[in-house]
Chains A and B, each alone.
Chain A
């Protein structure tokens, strides 16, 4: 009984003090940044991932659980470029945690370190879900991952100087392995160059850029606007003269329009992971890109 009491007391004490040299608590908005943080911290940090690969990171609500996690975070790692504009500002404002507010070293926005593509010439909501700073789906080019890793590694060292050497070591190790992997993917994916594809949403720009894929059409008439029958008929018509080799969607996007087009054209429907956890193979950043390359090679015949 006494032992149990002491145990409880210790637990309570730990809970309230949090411990001076407790592990860094990282709040990652998307699975790719959670996976990257894990690569760079080993097992030394506590990482919370706010969304899954089955969720559209734009359409998330400021849930109580997110506020509770942001309340205790030492570092928030997000995509930025307005991808999380609907929920992250609210979560951060309600969290009451000055360590992770925008502009502090505890707030890390990945798009700050990457050159964004598709920066719109003009901003008009009549053109759908346009992002003023450019296309935010940067995680689909491994070069971007390396750039973000570099910046994140430095940020970790800055935030937690006691473990700076360890973070640098992890970053160096990751960089070596990543560069080797990139070389391998580049070789494997060589036949994919100029492969014509159709996508559900314009979320694959960086992958196309990386592998040299040719995007012929989108199933959404405008970014963020669900496919309409009229628009799908137009895509079907275009496919007759210039067929694609795959119709690509992310796991969280509607399967039906993709299936419809597949049935009418015979073009393979392909669900690609848009982040870590997007399919059974994609368990970390390496297997995520591996899976994309293999799945694309599988239909490119």
Chain B
């Protein structure tokens, strides 16, 4: 429209001198009338343009004011263009966590009889410690991709270790409820597995996660999901993953040593309640899953059923709310296990039939304060058959050294109490009565803080 006006004005200015030179009185009044008509027609448009201009000016002024604020807040030397360059920075958040942990039994001798521990399974360091500091950056890459990465820093005996917890890409423009994720990410199996530990409701993972997933299973690979076009939430997904981490061993196949399939259902019950249920399956082709004492090669198939129920009066969780969560694990493993005490190495056939489950309930009784209880239980039924003593005295010694002997069912009770001054901070006290090991109870105490700095986190279900 603006172009039209300019063109007309140009045309008029070209015509005007010509017509005054050549026109008679009558023609002149004709032209005047036409011009008058044109003027009327464009008056309205010009008025509209003026309004838009005014709006734009107000907006620009506001922007200028905003930039002025920004430049004031920044150290000297920065200017408006700098602020604009920064505007494309990814959303950054930093999670700081620390805890004090006390155990009545030796944490270094921790074990779950009947289960080969791997990954990050184990107890948090005794005494005062920084658990894990995380840096997460996320942004839309361009019109097609969203990407997110989480780097984790933690102390090891060899110094500070940086690990890439997640670094994945989600295409944005997929149609029909399809979703794809590739890169490194936590597998979508189970309920808790795909969430970061700082949003968990207890300081430590359920025993089932410790035993079956080495705390939490994440790996390099690709995921495809499909959400059905139904009122009931139905999501189907599958992944193929390299198999770098427990419960896999050393990756061998290009297509990935681990495959998963999962389904999630969910919906609301009235206005105050919501639920989600899931079934998942993970099959791993395990090559040399080595934790120092034992190395397993064979097949590992894991099945998980999970269920979460949440309640808040009128669906408003601000005052009070309640959350119940449970997951059931079943695993079959079959293959060979090498058992080593550092000097001798024996070999045995191993067939495992293992189950584990936990249930927990969290109640926010007044704004900012929550209390929770959790029960964990594991059970293993392992067939162990020593085929080569390899220097060990007898089969019994090999089995004892392997830690795979069944007979004791580990269980644990946990109580949790936390205070959340805002959405961004949490201070938590926790007590575990841990009967993981057969002979005596371990009383475990934890005082923990979680602080999230930077961009606003997501309210996960």
**Known contacts A55-B314, A226-B368, A252-B316; A96 and B73 CB within 8 A of each other:** no
**Known contacts A122-B69, A254-B367; A68 and B458 CB within 8 A of each other:** no
Interface string of A243-263 (1 = CB under 8 A from B): 000000000111000000000
Could you tell me the distance in whole angstroms from the C-beta of B274 to the nearest C-beta in chain A? 5
Complex contact A224–B178 (CB within 8 A): no
For window 91-106 of chain A, which residues contact chain B by CB distance below 8 Å? Answer: 93-98, 101, 103
For window 120-176 of chain A, which residues contact chain B by CB distance below 8 Å? Answer: 121-122, 125, 128-129
**Of B73, B178, B264, B314, the contact of A252 (CB 8 Å cutoff):** B314
Task: Please give, as numbers and ranges, the residues of chain A lying within 8 Å of B179 by CB-CB distance.
Answer: 94, 96
Complex contact A90–B460 (CB within 8 A): yes
Could you tell me the distance in whole angstroms from the C-beta of B69 to the nearest C-beta in chain A? 6
Complex contact B227–A67 (CB within 8 A): yes
| Stretch from B6-14, B112-120, B169-177 contacting the other chain | B169-177
**In this complex, what residue of A is CB-closest to B265?**
A64
| Stretch from B18-26, B229-237, B291-299 contacting the other chain | B229-237
**Known contacts A52-B271, A71-B177, A94-B179; A65 and B233 CB within 8 A of each other:** yes
- Give Cα A68 to B235, complex, Å: 9
A86 contacts B by Cβ under 8 Å: yes
For window 347-385 of chain B, which residues contact chain A by CB distance below 8 Å? Answer: 367-368
Task: Please give, as numbers and ranges, the residues of chain A lying within 8 Å of B110 by CB-CB distance.
Answer: none
**In this complex, what residue of A is CB-closest to B314?**
A54
Could you tell me the distance in whole angstroms from the C-beta of A105 to the nearest C-beta in chain B? 14
Task: Please give, as numbers and ranges, the residues of chain A lying within 8 Å of B461 by CB-CB distance.
Answer: 61-64
- Give Cα A95 to B274, complex, Å: 18
**Known contacts A55-B316, A96-B225, A226-B368; A63 and B175 CB within 8 A of each other:** no
**Known contacts A226-B367, A226-B368; A65 and B69 CB within 8 A of each other:** no
Interface string of B396-438 (1 = CB under 8 A from A): 0000000000000000000000000111100000000000000
Size bracket, chain B contacts: 35 or more
B318 contacts A by Cβ under 8 Å: yes
**Known contacts A98-B172, A226-B368; A87 and B458 CB within 8 A of each other:** yes
Complex contact B229–A72 (CB within 8 A): yes
Task: Please give, as numbers and ranges, the residues of chain B lying within 8 Å of A71 by CB-CB distance.
Answer: 177, 227-229
4 new A-B contacts, CB < 8 A, other than A54-B315, A65-B231, A68-B232, are A62-B458, A86-B423, A121-B69, A224-B423
Q: List 26 A-B contacts (CB under 8 A).
A: A54-B316, A61-B310, A62-B459, A62-B460, A63-B266, A63-B274, A64-B265, A65-B266, A68-B266, A86-B458, A87-B458, A87-B459, A89-B458, A90-B458, A96-B178, A98-B175, A103-B143, A119-B62, A121-B69, A125-B424, A128-B422, A129-B422, A224-B422, A225-B421, A252-B318, A254-B318
